[in-house]
Structure 1
Amino acid sequence: MSFGKIRMIVSVMLVLSIVLLTACQSKKAPATESQPPKETASNEQSAAPKETSQEAIDPLGKFDPPIKMVGARYSNDQEYPQGESLDNNRWLDAYRSTLGIELKWKFMTTGAEYSEKLSVAIASNDIPDAMVVDATTFQSLLDNDMLEDLTEVYDKYASKTTKAALSETSTGKAALEMASRSGKLYGIPETAQTVAEKARMLFVRADWLDKLNLPEPKTIQDVIKIAEAFATLDPDGNNVQDTYGLAVAKSFLFADFGDLSGFFNGYHADPNIWLKDASGNLVHGVIQPEMKTALQELQNMFSKGILSTDMAVNTVESEWDAAINGKLGMSYGVIWTPAQPLNLNIEADPEADWKAFPIVSADDKPAKVRGGSPTGDYYVVKKGYSNPEAIVKMANLFIENLYNIPNSKLITDKKGDGTDGTISLVGLALVQAFNPDSSVKTATLLSEALKAKDPSKLDKGLKGSYDLALKFPQDRKAWLTYRLYGDEYGSYNVANYYDKNDLLLLNAYGGPPTPTMISNNKILRDLQTDIFTKIIMGEAHIDEFDSFVEQWKKSGGEQMTKEVNEWYAANN
């Protein structure tokens, strides 16, 4: 399941609620898994309580008598305030005291184990009352008629703030469509970011550019020249050739750091989405000829020592370490990359500076950058559960505390270990609801204020961030806030640039996973990663790409293309 990405999205929300004010974030491994907590409940459910007419229209109305719910979700090495735990914490108390919901966990564990436990529960027809699922599991549950229709309870119980997030933003509306079938809503989609915020951008050691008297990247050719200079001209000044130009993780087709999607986008290709061809049919980007051109250039770069010789085994975290330790000059990344890992390099090196740049093109045609899916996960209710409106009320409770209650102790609190650190508590909530436009609006407000040197439109929290950003570059603690929002090199401003200039490349297929996607997706992903790695490292001739295309088609790609186009023809 794709829960690693969602863990990172939560980090973006923390950029707004914590990092924005403190300009400080500790290093956290992108895929570290904790020991799973002990299961705490069996699947039990109470009879529906009687509702008053007032309760029926109150988005936060309390069930009386209380109802029982068994839930499940993935976790991310959650920290707890002192005296609290998985089974005894403020979110469980709030569900009980505010909503009248007695929630017990069937399981709450890390992403990989969550997927396994959920698969077992589905196979044994013993799923929780409410849970978070990815798109594949969502479709599987629908196919087996295991999900409750949420259409009426969403319309009736969703608060104004919830509907503003999901029904009144372009990303939210698209996400609701993905959670619907034949006009019926079967899940509350998680929409932590806009499509633009999930797009890749290029992060460059700006101090190395200055040191080597190099221009800012305007074309792919510039990127290649900069990467070669970073690898060969000793930008760290230690008289040892121990730096390299461009991060490449072994998961370079699907990573958030050390990813090469932005490089492929510069050649008007994308390995991960469906595109519309000249005849109006959908084709997969990974087998298009533009991919071959980009792979040839990457092979040339590897042969010159521009890329790490260990790219076949490099993890995302090892590429983080290279950046933090001053051995890496560039990486394609995402909007939160300045917060993790680049801020750790800034803390370690008083001379270091990174800037974000839009993806650049290999020719005179502007590069379009792949935007993200409107959502990846859904909060769903087991068919037959007596009070499906409870999941909507849980979403309301979360979103009201996140946006409308300043300094809510349900969202963040100080650590209980005597330090000055702050911890996020959003991971303890069964249902998490975000307004995808909120971070963009925040970024725009702060950027415009900094540009005009006028903070009059900012609230108290943003005024603190404004004051901090003004101290850059003299105050190194201001680096993160400035490089998120401060000028055209801020990551949020690069995302806004994509959106305003129609530079987002969207997946032409917006339907559910097809049968062949479900059965063959991993096979096809492993196939493309394997052959592309060999081509880049010179272990396979570039013409092996043509053989890969044929093998991809025979390994399920051709049937998948047929299924995608059948859906597209029926829905467009």
Structure 2
Amino acid sequence: MKKTGITLSSLLLIAGLLAGCSSDNKGSNSAAEATLKDGKYDPPIKITIAKQQDENAGKYINGESLNDNVLTRWGTKNLGITIETTLLGGDAAQYNTKLRLALTGSEKLPDVLPVYDTSLENDLIQSGLVKDITEDINKYMPDRLKEIYKQYPTTFNPVIQDGKVYGMAISPNLTEGEVMLIRQDWLDKLNLKAPTTIDEFEKVIAAFTNDDPDGDGKQDTYGFDFSGKDSYNTGWVSDSVMIFSAFTGKNLPGSWHEENGKLTYGSVADGNKEALAKLRDWYSKGYLNKELATQGAWDALADFTEGKAGIIIGRPWLYGSVKDVEANVKGAKISAYPTINGVSGDKTYQSGQLNDGVFMFNKDFNNMEAFFLYYDKLYDAAFGTGDFKYGYAQGYDYDIVDGQVTFDSKKFNTPLDAVQGVGKMAFTKNTPSVDGPGKSFEDLAGGAKADTGVLMRSEALDQTMKDGYVISYKNSESLLPSAFNGPPTKTMQSSWEQLTTMEKETFTKIIYSKEPLSAYDDFVKQWNEKGGTKITEEVNAWYENASKVDVMSNMGLK
């Protein structure tokens, strides 16, 4: 868990002093004052939200801004609902800090709170400042959304306490898996094939390092580019988890795996030592990026984009973020490939993601029906229906030129350098999806005609990205969501930060050859002694209890 700077004990002390004046944020009109007629509120109501910006958000055209853009105006005009961001954070740490300040009264707590940290979710529940939405889901959630949430019952685990539901997953959906993006021109120049085993992978990255694949007469390239700053299992881009899984199977670093009804922590499972030995060897030979321990997932992309590295692993859309190398380096070509098989011959696994955070709600928020109305409408972009058949806004994320729908921003009636991410202007932070790991791309590859908005958007992507999504869909069984996604256990609250810091430092020092390989055995021993054994017991007790709790019926989701 990341350090937040505010402890739960101090939080609850202050929150107790502030009880009764924690929030007056009920929107510009209460539910009793506003009338919903023909799908629109009159007079209009306001919903305030918290928002974490990511790397690609906050980009606006036409003089628009956070609270005045094409999507906020659509909501006011068509639904009588004005969305206003009143708490804004940049990266995850800053955003979490601002939410914690809101809990103490230093910041006003908005109506709708997207939360991305299970520790913070638990603290919000304990504070008494967020509402039980069990009945709201039953009463107000549209049937279309209910059908989606029925598919992902475990996403409620972090926000259920004492049989009450204090939140809901943000856009639940099994997201796409990761693929290898490889410099195809380097493979071709060196007469190599894409690797399918750990030995073939080593052969390729050795050649990419030593055999001058860019032809400049210098040994200035390397094989495998990934991030080790935050963890060795990023789950989205610049990932190295494939190498660990090659030796550990389904036991992934930083994740909990269930087998025969028991949960185990992946970072202390058999096989990690062998994976670290392999990475250690590769690092000493120059096959890996030298700054991997100081580069975050997004930062690590730079070497690949600049033509210095030959392989990077991430979700299929990663191609869109690194394809500049094809424009900037003569002859550069990227291809997408499946991740390699493990040492036993079985496929490797990777972390599956079922949702990006949860929605929680201010206890004084009275417009849940309006929230669900707006949220359901955002899903029109996922289903290709309603106002958002092709995208959220013509001239922003699609256009119609000479009677034909186009998603190429340079061909818009008013050309743009890049498509506007209108979905990132919403409180979901990303456009909701029901495509899973890439069903629409598999359908297109199978000959389906691009005759719906969803299929048309998928068809319009770069071929390399489409290839990646097909690979993702075909290998969807390799996606493993962590079996533990509940609130931090008692011992986690006091020991988890220390344990995860020890884990990351040990793994990095071994890879850097600053500690002997035997340091991994010492780490496992200390991990258990310093709370790991107790945490494992608590996690398994949670898992056993979670399997017995049935709140889905109370929410009308059965």
Measured against the shorter chain, the TM-score band is 0.7 to 0.9
Which of 493, 502, 509 aligns to 2:470? It is 493
Which of 32, 36, 48 aligns to 1:70? It is 48
Structure 1 residue 519: Cα displacement:
4.4
Is the counterpart of residue 355 in structure 1 residue 335 in structure 2? Answer: yes
Is the counterpart of residue 83 in structure 1 residue 78 in structure 2? Answer: no
In structure 1, what is the equivalent of residue 306 of structure 2? 325
Cα deviation code 1:524-564 (max 9, x no counterpart): 33222211111111111000001111222344323321220
Distance 1:292 1:383, change over 3 A: same
Is the counterpart of residue 130 in structure 1 residue 112 in structure 2? Answer: yes
Is the counterpart of residue 380 in structure 1 residue 360 in structure 2? Answer: yes
Partners in 1 of 2:86 and 2:540 — Cα distance? 39
Structure 2 residue identity aligned to 1:538: S
Structure 1 residue 484: Cα displacement:
2.0
Cα deviation code 1:40-73 (max 9, x no counterpart): x984544432577xx4xx8x83333443433221
Cα deviation code 1:362-389 (max 9, x no counterpart): 4334134123231231122111322222
Structure 1 residue 290: Cα displacement:
0.6
Contact in 1 for aligned 2:41/2:80 (Cα 8 Å):
yes
In structure 2, what is the equivalent of residue 508 of structure 1? 483
Is the counterpart of residue 218 in structure 1 residue 196 in structure 2? Answer: yes
Is the counterpart of residue 566 in structure 1 residue 526 in structure 2? Answer: no
In structure 1, what is the equivalent of residue 86 of structure 2? 106
Partners in 2 of 1:270 and 1:464 — Cα distance? 33
Contact in 2 for aligned 1:42/1:70 (Cα 8 Å):
no
Which sits farther off after the overlay, 172-181 or 62-71?
A: 172-181
Is the counterpart of residue 152 in structure 1 residue 135 in structure 2? Answer: yes
Q: Secondary structure at the match of 1:413?
A: coil
Which sits farther off after the overlay, 514-523 or 106-115?
A: 514-523
Distance 1:208 1:413, change over 3 A: same
Partners in 1 of 2:500 and 2:262 — Cα distance? 22
Partners in 1 of 2:537 and 2:458 — Cα distance? 51
In structure 2, what is the equivalent of residue 444 of structure 1? 442
Number of aligned pairs?
Answer: 499
Which sits farther off after the overlay, 98-107 or 530-539?
A: 98-107
1:78-477, aligned counterparts within 5 Å?
78-111=58-91, 112-124=93-105, 126-134=108-116, 135-167=118-150, 170=151, 172-176=152-156, 179-181=159-161, 184-191=164-171, 193-195=173-175, 197=176, 199-251=177-229, 253-255=232-234, 256-267=236-247, 268=249, 269-276=251-258, 280-341=261-322, 343-401=323-381, 403-404=384-385, 405-410=388-393, 413=396, 419-421=415-417, 422-431=419-428, 434-437=432-435, 440-449=438-447, 456=449, 458-459=451-452, 462=455
Structure 1 residue 254: Cα displacement:
4.0
Structure 1 residue 226: Cα displacement:
1.0
Q: Secondary structure at the match of 1:234?
A: coil
Structure 1 residue 239: Cα displacement:
1.2
Partners in 2 of 1:306 and 1:504 — Cα distance? 27
Structure 1 residue 465: Cα displacement:
6.7
Structure 1 residue identity aligned to 2:344: D
Distance 1:508 1:188, change over 3 A: closer
Contact in 2 for aligned 1:200/1:261 (Cα 8 Å):
no
Contact in 2 for aligned 1:175/1:191 (Cα 8 Å):
no
Partners in 2 of 1:417 and 1:460 — Cα distance? 19
Which of 39, 48, 63 aligns to 2:31? It is 48
Contact in 1 for aligned 2:441/2:458 (Cα 8 Å):
no
> Identity across aligned pairs (percent)?
26
CA root-mean-square deviation:
3.2
Contact in 2 for aligned 1:218/1:360 (Cα 8 Å):
yes
> Unaligned 5+ residue runs, structure 2?
3-22, 398-408, 548-558
Partners in 1 of 2:491 and 2:41 — Cα distance? 43
Scaled by the length of structure 1, the TM-score of the pair is: 0.78
Partners in 2 of 1:210 and 1:89 — Cα distance? 47
Structure 1 residue 210: Cα displacement:
1.9
Structure 1 residue 102: Cα displacement:
4.3
Contact in 1 for aligned 2:265/2:536 (Cα 8 Å):
yes
Contact in 2 for aligned 1:411/1:425 (Cα 8 Å):
no
Partners in 2 of 1:298 and 1:411 — Cα distance? 48
In structure 2, what is the equivalent of residue 10 of structure 1? none
Contact in 1 for aligned 2:96/2:120 (Cα 8 Å):
no
Partners in 2 of 1:89 and 1:505 — Cα distance? 37
Partners in 1 of 2:346 and 2:165 — Cα distance? 38
Q: Secondary structure at the match of 1:132?
A: strand
Which sits farther off after the overlay, 257-266 or 221-230?
A: 257-266
Structure 1 residue identity aligned to 2:98: K
The structure where helix makes up a greater share of residues is 1
Cα deviation code 1:78-120 (max 9, x no counterpart): 1223132233333333333333334443222313332211101
Q: Secondary structure at the match of 2:115?
A: strand
Q: Secondary structure at the match of 1:540?
A: coil
